[in-house]
Amino acid sequence: MSGFDCVASALVDTGWCVLPGFLSPAEVSALVASSQARRTDFARAGVGRAGGHAVNGEIRGDEVLWLDHARTADADPAASVAQGRLEALRGELNAALYLGLAELECHLAVYPAGRFYKRHLDQHRGEDTRVVTIVLYLNPEWGEDDGGELRLYLDDGRHIDVPPLGGTLAVFMSDRFEHEVLPARRERWSLSGWYRRRARV
């Protein structure tokens, strides 16, 4: 049995879910420390489809480090713990919802102070295999005035703002919810990813 039953039922009910405590404070500290130690390996994230990978600071200002699951265990044990738990969640979502989620694709991300990511959808229409978006926050402390919330635009025209507080996991259907990252007033760390289905051939 699992600790994540609420995620599957929330995805059915509303299509999104925010789960505090997905990582413990100690796991968050370890992961942000190892991410900071790899800071020079991060690169500005691009926008657009896989082919047209252009950096555009007016749209998105984060710097990312893609994680290869096979290689992470040696390179970054703390990231490996998080990926392992996210793989367990993938298995549970498949068992509960038959979503056919074949893999987790993910990267670490840091938004330096002042950076943001404008409103967007994670799935490119008709082409993308991203089914479920996950974002795991890695900031041990986050104040009300620190900005950097995830703003998720709901179906009914309302939105919710999720502060990127360490250990919290945000989950939502990739093709359904536009969202943005509001300007952060201090450095903002996360692990973001997508459960993907296999591409049709």
Q: Which is nearer to Mn ion, 82 or 109 (CB)?
A: 109
Among residues 11, 135, 171, 191, the one that binds ligand OGA under rule CB under 6 A: 135
Q: Counting beta carbons within 10 angstroms of the beta carbon of residue 62, is it exposed (0 to 12), middle (13 to 18) or buried (19 or more)? A: buried
H/E element, 65: strand 63-67
As a whole number of angstroms, the distance between CA 102 and CA 194 comes to: 10
In the list Mn ion, ligand OGA, none, the entry touching 80 (Cβ below 5 to 8 angstroms by class) is none
> Which residue reads 């710097």 in tokens?
63
Which of 33, 31, 61, 29 is closest to 46 using CA atoms?
61
Q: Which is nearer to Mn ion, 122 or 146 (CB)?
A: 122
**Residues in region 159-198 near ligand OGA by CB under 6 A:** 179, 181, 190, 192
Q: Which is nearer to Mn ion, 30 or 169 (CB)?
A: 169
Query: Residues 103-142 vs Mn ion: string with x where CB under 5 A?
Result: -------------------x--------------------
DSSP SS3 for 66: strand
Q: Which residues of this chain interact with ligand OGA, rule CB under 6 A?
A: 117, 122, 135, 150, 179, 181, 190, 192
